[in-house]
Amino acid sequence: MAVPDSAIVTRLRAAGCVFAEDEARLLIAAARTPAELDVMVGQRVAGLPLEQVLGWAEFCGLRITVTPGVFVPRRRTEFLVRQAAALARRGDVIVDLCCGAGAIGAALAAAVEGVEVYAADIDPAAVRCARQNLPADRVYQGDLYAPLPAVLRGRVAILAANVPYVPAREIELLPAEARAHEPRAALDGGADGLDVLRRVAIGAAAWLAPGGYLLSETSDRQAWMAEAVVTASGLAARVARSPDLDATVIIARRPSSG
């Protein structure tokens, strides 16, 4: 692999980019002209997330389109995808709720043959982006379940809800690039970080098929509270963890009957 331009590496390092050489290679490969490269390096130095500068994020082996102002898919969320893929079957209806760029839905569509994937997000910018990663006519804009087609009620086998779960008082502790360049609504989970999960859990049983699953990412320290939230909504819940990815996922199942 070619050695990246030392001047670019120096600029990136000075801006605090830990993996400056790797980032320089990616930026050089993405730029079509020297002028475009200079602009892209300037954006990164100014704090724009690398994925938004490049226009894509690597996620579950896919290149997911990521546009400015949209939540950047995290590698830890690949653990949620793996858990969901293990539960999904051909022909299942899958919903990517709070979809952001649609990374979870796109990854599940690639991992499980023959599934129907739908997605929704309240943020217009996220919806526009997700429509580049998923069939555009299956991505809806609105608050949680509200924009989903009524025909999906009671038919969803996998409901993947990567809800915001950072407590509001801790937003200021996040890396600057997240605070400044990702929508607060994609990060802020309310006072205890569980406000959106509560709303998702309350509506889940009506949308899930009998025996269907709700999967939602949370933090390890919130896991016991998140598990209690979904259990209170009549779902049987458990916690799955990946120390390697520092990932924690609540997996909840609607009873097969009753």
Q: What is the tens place of the pLDDT at every residue in 28-87?
A: 999 999 999 999 999 999 888 999 999 999 999 999 999 999 999 999 999 999 999 999
18 against 248, higher pLDDT: 248
The pLDDT value recorded for residue 113 is 95
The pLDDT value recorded for residue 188 is 85
Of 149, 93, 89, 83, nearest to 120 by C-alpha is: 149
Query: Helix 34-45 crosses helix 20-30 at what angle (to 10 degrees)?
Result: 140
pLDDT greater than 80 at residue 1: no
Q: How confident is the model at residue 258 (pLDDT cuts 50, 70, 90)?
A: low
pLDDT greater than 80 at residue 110: yes
pLDDT tens digits for range 161-180: 999 999 999 998 888 888 88
- Cα distances from 130 to residues 56, 73, 75, 108, 121, in angstroms, run 12, 12, 18, 14, 9
CA–CA dist 70, 127 (Å, integer): 9
pLDDT greater than 60 at residue 187: yes
Identify the structural domains of the chain with CATH numbers, from first to last.
6-65 (no CATH), 75-253 (3.40.50.150)
Coil, helix or strand at residue 249 = strand
Query: Helix 103-111 crosses helix 78-87 at what angle (to 10 degrees)?
Result: 40
Q: How confident is the model at residue 18 (pLDDT cuts 50, 70, 90)?
A: confident
The pLDDT value recorded for residue 4 is 63
Among 81-90, 103-112, 248-257, name the one with the lowest average pLDDT.
Answer: 248-257
Cβ pair 139, 120 in contact under 8 A: yes
The pLDDT value recorded for residue 142 is 97
Q: What is the pTM of this model?
A: 0.92
The pLDDT value recorded for residue 58 is 95
The pLDDT value recorded for residue 2 is 52
CB within 8 Å of 76: residues ≥ 6 apart = 217, 242, 245, 246, 247
Mean of per-residue pLDDT scores for the chain = 94
Residue tagged 């509001």 (tokens): 168
